[in-house]
Amino acid sequence: MTTSAPIRDPAEIYRRSFAIIRAEAELARFDAASQDIVVRLIHACGMVDLAGDIVVSDGFAASARAALQAGAPVLCDVEMVRHGVITRLMPAGNEVLCLLNDPQVRGIAARDATTRSAAQVDLWAERMGGAVIAIGNAPTALFRLLELIDAGAPKPAAIIGVPVGFVGAVESKDALIADPRGVEFLAVKGRRGGSALASSAVNAIAGGLEGHG
């Protein structure tokens, strides 16, 4: 029995992977810029049917890319999202921040009887205007972000709302989709999501589909 030699060239692996995704996924409803992001999300999870659950506002890709090019920070709900962002792709040396371990967070969480992920969102306020928000893990963070915007906090340029899970994930993303508060957004309906998807979306915005891991 003979087997073909494994492909070892990174660029060729990416090229073939993206070609397979484009051949198998239903991408026609997305514009070209959004398609690049959707392909990246599918590449991160290996599920071509994810395309059916992705909701992208019309101006999301342009708004998020313009924000990064202008030097806006990327605010992440968890360290896994922050570590998944490829900082060398950031077009303006953008800060990629997660404030989950800030000393103030535990006190805010205790005061408000909420999660640390939601509490850290309160610390985003001074950086939030024009930022790119990437939420891949914590529905409570997405709910709190929407609450702060409703209360008059500065609006981000774009929200990546893809928290994963069984409690609150569906509802938080449905709330974003139903009323994005005038903010460009990307969301994945249902229980699926995760830190890898959130960081992959940021990487696609920053670097497109070139051969970046």
* 8 A C-beta contact, residue 120 and residue 90: no
147: which residues sit within 8 A by CB, 6+ positions away? none
* Entry field: residues in the chain: 213
Q: Which of 43, 65, 82, 192 is catalytic?
A: 43
- Cα–Cα nearest to 160, from 192, 191, 190, 193: 193
114: which residues sit within 8 A by CB, 6+ positions away? 108, 140, 144
Alpha carbon distance 19, 32 (integer Å):
15
Q: Tell how far CA 132 is from the center of its chain.
A: 9
DSSP string, 124-141: GHHHHTTPEEEESS-HHH
12: which residues sit within 8 A by CB, 6+ positions away? none
Give catalytic status of residue 43 as yes or no: yes
User: Which residue has 């999202």 as its token pair?
Assistant: 81
How big is the CA angle at 112 (ends 122 and 170), to the nearest 5 degrees?
A: 75
Q: What is the set of active-site residues?
A: 43
